[in-house]
Amino acid sequence: MERPVNHLLANPSVRLVIITAGLAAVYTIGLAVYRLVFSQLAGFPGPKLAAATYWYEFYYDCIRQGKFVFEIERMHRKYGPIVRINPHELSIHDPDAYNEIYVSESKRRTEHYDVFAKGIDFDGSHLLTKSHDLHRRRRKPLEPFFSRLGVSRLQHMLSEVVEKLASRIEALKGTNSIIRLDHAFSAFSGDIIGRICWEGEKEFLDDPNFAPEWYNVIHMIIRSVPLFTMFPFIIQVVGVVPESILAWAFPSSQNFNKFTTVAKDHVLKAKREKMEHDLKGTHSTDHVSLFRYIFDSDMPESERSDERLAKEAQVLLGGGTASTARTLTFISYYILANPHIQLRLKEELKDVMATYPQHVPTWADLEKLPYLQALIKEGLRLSYGVMHRLPRCSPDVPIRYKQWTIPVGVPVGMSAYLMHTDPVVYPKPFEFLPERWLGNINPAMHRNFVPFCRGSRNCLGMNLAQAEINLALAVLYRPNGPTFELYDTDESDVIQAHDFLIPLPKLDTKGVRILIR
């Protein structure tokens, strides 16, 4: 009698499956052996499983939802200041090495690691441009709008928007309305970056509920970053699969589509406005939006395609909204949860806010207030800016770190989270203590303070963010201003617990909520 096994093997389809599975197993084992033994990173310390496969990182970032940064922290405790965290990437935890990784272009060229954040559909933006030289060409036309001088020229606009934020919130006084500060601040920062990028658009602060859909779109995209980065093909699938199927299979992809559509529509509108002005021979002497400026600039035509500029718009809208709003929400919680902080801040603001609203102080005025600046520094320290490691590659020369030589082109990154929570530099690192920034400050505190990164690829919008945070805190928490009271909110609603490139608190948070008495 013919045995069942022999019968199965006689089936060509079964044989094909077995052969395919065998080849896949051989390939997988061979790839792991290569990565562990023959790779140029084989001699660097770190867990063998992380060196052999990306599934290690997938587990912490996708299954456990943004926890890989804490696993990297554990690796450094076990293996030392330099660790191989996946098959192709290194992490360093040594503050003295930071300025060797994140360098200015006068020192050496720096390239973006093109696997990092791939799949979130921002390819073509200056942020995700790999080549050092192309990155400089793409970023340079944007810099005048975000330089310190450029931001100071926006003072009138910034004052308008912050007054609008304050009046919207104060109008709810005595109504027992529960206000989500994270929504209000997202609307505020979204309107500011919107006014910079576009002209005459509907504003989020006009929404009776502070545009929660805008907040939700941004945060669903943030939460999708690890999955889309790990599986970049998903974004291509999003473009061809019918929307009904897409909504069922990948609900968060709908937010990518909405976000992309908004960005494209705004770019096309700016292009039409530029053409209309050219036909009429008129040029506005008032504020010219960033994207109309780009269409009027000498940027090469190849860099002004609708598709590429839409990616740039997505980066500016998302980055210009999320980080600033999150930092404002974070600092606000500690102001409202600690009466001594609120009292000291109001006392310091007394003179500079004495003639508000007839006069709104400038960012330069507010920078002279030491306690306000200490609050902001501590808020930035513990909200981290970008919590995720930011890998960089040296395309021309190897990087020397202690006894190690990091080969040309190998991505190596450091995390603001690790820099900002170093207990040697910041005693009680997880406590919100603005006083640590007053008096005689340990110089290492400034060395470790990197919420906006450093080098030629530092945060484009850091001056704008600083101005927004200063103005919003001064206006909302001024003496004789409204009395805010936290509602059903505690510290767990702001402590950064998940690293989705941008950090988020616990995922079931209801936000920072307040009442106005």
Cis peptide, bond prior to residue 357, ω within 30 of zero: yes
430, 178, 202, 366: CA torsion to nearest 10 = -50
CATH of 88-516, one of 3.40.1260.10, 3.40.1360.10, 1.10.630.10, 1.25.40.390: 1.10.630.10
Model pLDDT for residues 82-121, shown as the tens digit of each residue = 999 999 999 999 999 999 999 999 999 999 998 888 877 7
Per-residue pLDDT at 1: 46
Per-residue pLDDT at 25: 80
Spatial contact of 511 and 180, defined as CB atoms under 8 Å apart = yes
Distance CA 334, CA 418 (A): 22
Question: C-alpha angle with apex 216: 213 to 222, nearest 5 degrees?
Answer: 150
* Positions of the chain with pLDDT lower than 50, given as ranges: 1, 285
Question: C-alpha angle with apex 114: 110 to 116, nearest 5 degrees?
Answer: 100
Spatial contact of 214 and 321, defined as CB atoms under 8 Å apart = yes
Beta strands of 116-178 (E only): which ranges?
none
Residue 62 in marked binding region: no
Per-residue pLDDT at 471: 98
**Mean pLDDT, the chain, integer:** 90
276, 278, 283, 284: CA torsion to nearest 10 = 20
Per-residue pLDDT at 285: 46
Please choose, from the candidates 353, 389, 504, 402, the residue with its C-alpha nearest in 3D space to the C-alpha of residue 102. Answer: 389
Residue 439 main-chain phi, psi, to 5 deg: 75, -145
Residue 368's region, left for phi above 0, alpha for psi from -120 to 50, else beta, is: alpha
